[in-house]
Structure 1
Amino acid sequence: MNYYSFPLFLLIFMTFSGFSQEKKSGPVVEGYGQVWAIENPDFKTDTSQEFKVVFDVKDGPESDTEININLNTVARFLNLHAQNGIPLSQLKVALIVHGTAARNLLSDEAYQSRYRVKNPNRELVEKLLDAKVEVIMCGQSSKTRGLPKEDLIPGVKIALSAMTANIQLQNQGYRPIKL
Structure 2
Amino acid sequence: MYILARALIIGLFAFTSLQSSAAEFADGPIIFGYGKHAAVKQDMKIAKDTKLKVVFDVAKTGKDGGVNRGFDSVARFYNMHVANGIPAQNIDLVVVVHGGATNEMRNTKSYQAKYGKENPNSELINTLLANKVQFVQCGQSAAFHQMDNTDMIEGVNMALSAMTAHAILNAKGYSQNPF
* TM-score of the two chains, using structure 2 as the length reference: 0.86
Kindly provide the CA deviation profile for residues 38-75 of structure 1, in whole angstroms up to 9, marking residues without a partner as x.
1x311212221101100011111353x31111111000
Please tell me the residue identity of whatever aligns with 1:34. Answer: K
Kindly provide the CA deviation profile for residues 118-159 of structure 1, in whole angstroms up to 9, marking residues without a partner as x.
000000000110110110000111111111111111000001
2:34 aligned counterpart, secondary structure: coil
- Asked whether 1:48 is paired with 2:49, we answer yes
Cα offset for 1:21? 4.0
Structure 2 Cα separation of the partners of residues 19 and 69 of structure 1: 20
Over the aligned positions, Cα root-mean-square deviation in angstroms equals: 2.4
Query: Mapping of 1:84-103 within 5 angstroms?
Result: 84-103=84-103
Single out whichever of 94-103 and 105-114 deviates more from structure 2: 105-114
Gaps of 5+ in 2: none
Contact 1:111 1:117 in 2 (8 A): yes
Structure 2 Cα separation of the partners of residues 57 and 178 of structure 1: 11
Instruction: Provide the residue aligned with 2:173 in structure 1.
Output: 173
* TM-score of the two chains, using structure 1 as the length reference: 0.86
2:38 aligned counterpart, secondary structure: coil
Structure 2 Cα separation of the partners of residues 117 and 103 of structure 1: 13
Gaps of 5+ in 1: none
Query: Mapping of 1:1-179 within 5 angstroms?
Result: 19=21, 21-38=23-40, 40-61=41-62, 63=64, 65-179=65-179
Contact 1:68 1:121 in 2 (8 A): yes
Please tell me the residue identity of whatever aligns with 2:135. Answer: V
1:94 aligned counterpart, secondary structure: strand
Go from structure 1 to structure 2 and tell me whether the alpha carbon gap of 1:74 and 1:19 turns closer, same or farther (over 3 Å shift).
Answer: closer
1:79 aligned counterpart, secondary structure: helix
Structure 2 Cα separation of the partners of residues 141 and 97 of structure 1: 9
Please tell me the residue identity of whatever aligns with 1:47. Answer: K
Higher helix share: 2
Kindly provide the CA deviation profile for residues 102-126 of structure 1, in whole angstroms up to 9, marking residues without a partner as x.
1111112211111111000000000
Structure 2 Cα separation of the partners of residues 149 and 20 of structure 1: 40
Contact 1:57 1:178 in 2 (8 A): no
Structure 2 Cα separation of the partners of residues 92 and 117 of structure 1: 32
Structure 1 Cα separation of the partners of residues 21 and 63 of structure 2: 33
Percentage of matched positions with identical amino acids? 36
Please tell me the residue identity of whatever aligns with 2:99. Answer: G
